[in-house]
Amino acid sequence: MKIEDVRAKAFAMPLTNPSFPRPPYRFYNREYIVITYRTDPDALRAVVPEPLEITDNVVKYEFIRMPDSTGFGDYTETGQVIPVSYNGDHGGYVHSMYLDDDAPIAGGRELWGFPKKLANPKISHEGEVLVATLDCRSIRCATATMGYKHQIADKDAVHKSLLAPNYMLKIIPHVDGGPRILELVRYYLEDIQVKGAWTGPAALELFQHVSVDVAKLPVLEVISASHFIADLTLGMGEVVHDYLA
């Protein structure tokens, strides 16, 4: 393969058979369970990078069921998002993500810098309770329960919350082991249609695990919980800060 052919064809690895297709990526009937909880402020300060600023001592723990996503298929994801501000704009810092599908792990890490790792999250409906769990092989790392559709939530408010910017660190190592790319990336969700939204009582437990370290942001108090279903498109990212510049 000639150099000009490599340049023309290269999109993602492997060169001749990438792990994921080119964007855009549209998600249908994305089901969210989001539990907002208060945590240790010192623990937050230890993980949120400058120039992001912490706005409150809270974390949003998300479980997301994605049964129909173009390019990525059918999978489930979970993780922690920390409310932050950047130059006065309020959004969320994506601190951790765990999921059960190779294509969105590779695509998320390589394109945007999503902090994705392989694990086994699940969402199930058990009678009057929503049950969400995160396992790393045989070890339970998180358990969330929420009352099923106790109260209808304001769909407009949910829609507005999904429009907020999201931030993450994109880290690509150099061949010498140091960072080749170290950037703060911002992205937005687009073309959002909230199909239903509810609130209810919830509980959340996080357990210590060396590889899935969600418990490093401990649950001190559950503040609120939301359950909603939406169609949306995952917008592409932009670099807002280059740590190596």
Active-site amino acid positions: 116
Q: How far apart are the first and last CA of the chain?
A: 34
> Is residue 165 within 8 Å of 89, Cβ to Cβ?
yes
> Is residue 207 within 8 Å of 141, Cβ to Cβ?
yes
SS (H, E, C) 47-107: CCCCCCEECCCEEEEEEEEEEEECCCEEEEEEEEEEEEEECCEEEEEEEEEEECCHHHHHH
> Is residue 71 within 8 Å of 20, Cβ to Cβ?
yes
| Rounded Cα gap, residues 216 and 150, in angstroms | 30
| Rounded Cα gap, residues 53 and 62, in angstroms | 21
> Is residue 231 within 8 Å of 193, Cβ to Cβ?
yes
Backbone φ and ψ of 119, nearest 5°? -160, -165
**Tokens in use for 188?**
């937005």
Residue 25, Cβ neighbours under 10 Å: how many?
Answer: 21
